[in-house]
Amino acid sequence: MAIKSLDELKKIRDNSLKKVNLRESGENGEEIIEMMVGMATCGIAAGARETLNAILDEIEAKGIKNIRVVQVGCMGYCHSEPTVQVNMPGHEPILYGNVSAKVAKDIIEKHILNGELLDENILIKTFNKA
């Protein structure tokens, strides 16, 4: 199919961008929200892979751009897996436990988009490692 105008080109770009934008979000550092999903043996066994996929689905559904989802190793809270850590620029990191796919959606909707914390699932506030 031939492209006949700049608008048609932009349509193709927007479609293609969805497939590659995870490569860009890493590059410019600063104002990127980071969600870290614990994907060690304990996390995977407790369903972290479903959690991770739910997060990615929700991000796409809501069209959130300045975010990257990273999988990490065991954070030491094996009793409360799956765990998800949220790093908002300028805020202390928050660590959530028992994050099912549903909780994951709530985190995106409430915490990421509206800045409300999900008190019931918080394992620890200001989660800093030495």
Residues in the site for another protein, rule: CB under 8 A?
1-6, 9-10, 12-13, 15-17, 19-23, 25-27, 29, 37-41, 44, 52-53, 56-57, 60, 68-73
Nearer to another protein, 57 or 109 (CB): 57
**Distance, C-alpha 25 to centroid of its chain:** 12
In angstroms, give the least distance from the CB of 6 to another protein.
Answer: 4
In angstroms, give the least distance from the CB of 32 to another protein.
Answer: 9
Nearer to another protein, 17 or 120 (CB): 17
Largest CA distance in the chain: 58
Contacts of 128 (CB under 8 A, 6+ apart): 92, 93
Q: How far apart are CA 82 and CA 84, in angstroms?
A: 7
Nearer to another protein, 39 or 94 (CB): 39
Show the CA angle centred on residue 22, arms to residues 125 and 51, nearest 5°: 50
Let me know if 46 is exposed, middle or buried by CB neighbors in 10 A (0-12, 13-18, 19+): buried
Nearer to another protein, 64 or 70 (CB): 70
In angstroms, give the least distance from the CB of 68 to another protein.
Answer: 4
In angstroms, give the least distance from the CB of 116 to another protein.
Answer: 25
